[in-house]
Amino acid sequence: MKNILLVCILFNVLACQNTERSWVVDEIAIIPAPQQITVGKGYFEIPQKIRIQAPAVFDNESHLLGSYLKNTAAVEYLKGSRIDAPNIIFEIDNTIIKEGYILAVLANKILIKANSSSGAFYAVQSLIQLLPPKLDQEPPTWLGAIKIPVHTIQDAPAFPYRGMHLDVSRHFFPKEFIKKYIAHLASLKMNTFHWHLTDDQGWRIEIKQYPELTSKGAYREETLIGHYNESPQKFDGKRYGGFYTQEEVKEIVAFAKQHHVSVIPEIELPGHAQAAIHGYPELGCSGEQVPVATKWGVFENIYCPKPETFTFLKNVLDEVMPLFPSQYIHIGGDEAPKTAWKKCAHCQALIKEKALGDEHGLQSYFIKEIEMHINKKGKKIIGWDEILEGGLAPNATVMSWRGTQGAVAAAKQGHDVILTPTSHAYFDYYQATYDDEPTAIGGYLPLKKVYGFNPIPKALQGTDASKHVLGAQGNIWTEYMKTPDQVMYMAFPRILAMSEVVWTGATSDLDKEYSSFLSRLEPYLERLDAKGINYANHLFDLEGTVVKKEGQVFYELSTPTAGKQIKYSVNNALEQTYIKPFIVSTDATIKGQVYKNKNPVGRSFSDTIKYHKAIKATVAVNVAPHPAYGAGGVKALINGVWGSNTRFGDKEWLGFWGDDLEITITFPEPTEISKISTRFYNANGQWLYAPKEIEIQTDYGILQKVNLPGTDQTILDVNLGVGVTTSFIKISIPSYGIIPDGLQGAGNKAWTFIDEIVIQ
């Protein structure tokens, strides 16, 4: 991260001083990393009686700190002048930017300076991370002494928008969990909670003028079991749902305000409206009754742009807006199939009357109509990047999720943007490749990739348009998260990495700064344990990588955190200590384990290498894999490792969105081949389509054209019969094309996912 004077600040203290009777901080390990830390000499020891002095504007923050400290000492809040000197002093400093702060730990006191209550709040969050994790337990159990090293922190955020999202429509979560979720993101200096309240699978907010939105739209008759791609699909047969009353919403928003978190509600339109149309069928183009959706995906039942629909939505928003002090209302705007509009006589007449051109122009008209109403109420809209289609509403902020292109286009037009691309910010993606990971929607987003995210796209860096990048957020869509524990598992620790991206700033040296982050994250896990957070611990996982150099194939083992020992075996031989990459020259099964202090930690590891004729070759592709599905790089196509049999989200499967591919494999010398094998992932519900045919070329021209059947995992086995000697193989793979109407993702480009290409 930029301008950080922090990697690992050690003090000369005896090892293992932190006992039940004494807590001595020997490392300033704060997440997100402060912009600057200056270390002094000595310690401040928290006394048995703590006197806190703060101006009235910082009462909330001083009492928050006191609530932590009262479990280890008596706390007194000083008002006015006192003879007794305070131990902790809050001061207003108008020279500090709004959310910035100075935290000075001196030998005889702690001084917190800020220009705003939010800055004071963030100073308290930093200080809390220096206190014993046991103070976070319920009930707290720390009763010993606490010594904090003398130091000064000068800190401020890199971005004004630092957010986390939560979808409560697919699965509903109780009020108390929502408050805990807000408290957790606030503790990491994130300041925005994006609350996804309405969708096809459930309407979750009480609207008094339209009671059937919740009496009907908040409940579905059953829910999909297992993954969407499983065939046949199965359902649990149980009615499911819930909603938040307006009083509960007020309580949550008030709680968020105490934690300096702005709550942005999302009321989806014109798509993702099936739950609303279930309650009020006249809102759809057909006027027919439709059920609340019982499975995931995108549905064709969207709002019809009739006068009565706009009246309905404006009335809904007029009830929603007073509940949320935020300057923003999120209106969605994504994944709105136009099938119903194409068939609707009213819609087609409206397109002609308003000279809108087509259905995309009609969507733009729809969004602008809603934006004008929201603007009149003194608020602004945020929409997903589809709101660019057909022309952007005048004052809209764009939330870019399908990549960064939407953000670039909107920023260049002078619109504010928030980055939340699938490639780095979708926490519903798998975070590890183990087969026993909880079922997720797909994709692969490990912790390091989140940490390496830069919210300012390359196309905007160094330009005036970059000032329109407000920040970024992590998204949690809950199709496969039924419980709060599952949400926490998918959020943590990736939320910690995102917090550092948006507070400290993008990394300039990923490997070095990620190592620093992990050195702070490992002890932070004790704090997560104390809070009872069900986090995903992959800090002790092993990762195997095939490395090619000097005409040989090596296998490299690594684990994220420093100071660990790795032991491994090959083809069930004796276990040995890993020192450096080792040569692989035949089919191999590699097993490994990480050790900490001579004890095994993390999960056992296993990988299988298929040593085939292309493993020493070079490979080139005419287009790069999509950033969200290219973790292994193009070299993954011939590294001898197959991808997962059950999901496309790992570093071996490569995804391409709508591209015609040409994959060229060049051998070190002319090589005789007799068989080519690979496989394509075919999951139509998630827009993945195997190609209809491919073409194979060698030195002798076009060798074969192969038609493919399109099963779940379409296997390509091309037996050449008599061996062919060639210096290269070129595989041409046309994209499936545009997804047809009536299918999930209709009108969008289909994805192509390809696995290892084995040459025999």
First-to-last alpha carbon distance for the chain, in angstroms, is 46
Single out the catalytic residue among 99, 155, 199, 200: 199
Residue whose entry in the numeric block shows the structure tokens 């090892």: 15
Q: Is 604 left (phi over 0), alpha (psi -120 to 50) or beta?
A: beta
Q: CB 174: neighbour CB atoms within 10 A?
A: 13
Single out the catalytic residue among 206, 266, 335, 756: 335
Coil vs helix vs strand at 682: coil
> What would the 3-class secondary structure string for 594-624 be?
EEECCEEEEEEEEEEECCCCCCCCEEEECCC
Active site residue 199: yes
- Which tokens sit at 282? 């006249």
Does the N-terminal peptide bond of residue 627 adopt cis geometry, omega within 30 degrees of 0?
no
- In sequence order, the 6+-apart residues with CB closer than 8 A to the CB of 518 are 539, 560, 561, 562
For 186-219, b/e burial (b = at least 16 CB within 10 A) is: bbbbbbbbbbbbbbbbbbbbbbeebeebbebbbb
Q: Number of helices (H) and strands (E), helices first, in the chain?
A: 16, 39
What backbone phi and psi angles, to 5 degrees, belong to 718?
-110, 105
Active site residue 45: no
70 and 174 Cβ atoms separated by less than 8 Å: no
Q: Is 569 left (phi over 0), alpha (psi -120 to 50) or beta?
A: beta
Residue whose entry in the numeric block shows the structure tokens 């932070």: 524
Q: Are strands 552-558 and 224-225 parallel, antiparallel or unpaired?
A: unpaired
> What would the 3-class secondary structure string for 467-517 be?
HHEEEEEEECCCCCCCCHHHHHHHHCCHHHHHHHHHHCCCCCCHHHHHHHH
Q: Is 333 left (phi over 0), alpha (psi -120 to 50) or beta?
A: left
CA distances from 304 to 196, 271, 274, 309, 551 (A): 21, 10, 12, 7, 63
Residue whose entry in the numeric block shows the structure tokens 């085939």: 612
Q: Which of 143, 5, 124, 13 is nearest to 71 (CA)?
A: 143
What backbone phi and psi angles, to 5 degrees, belong to 291?
-80, 160
Active site residue 221: no
Single out the catalytic residue among 194, 272, 415, 468: 272
DSSP state of 108: S
Q: Which residues are catalytic?
A: 199, 272, 335
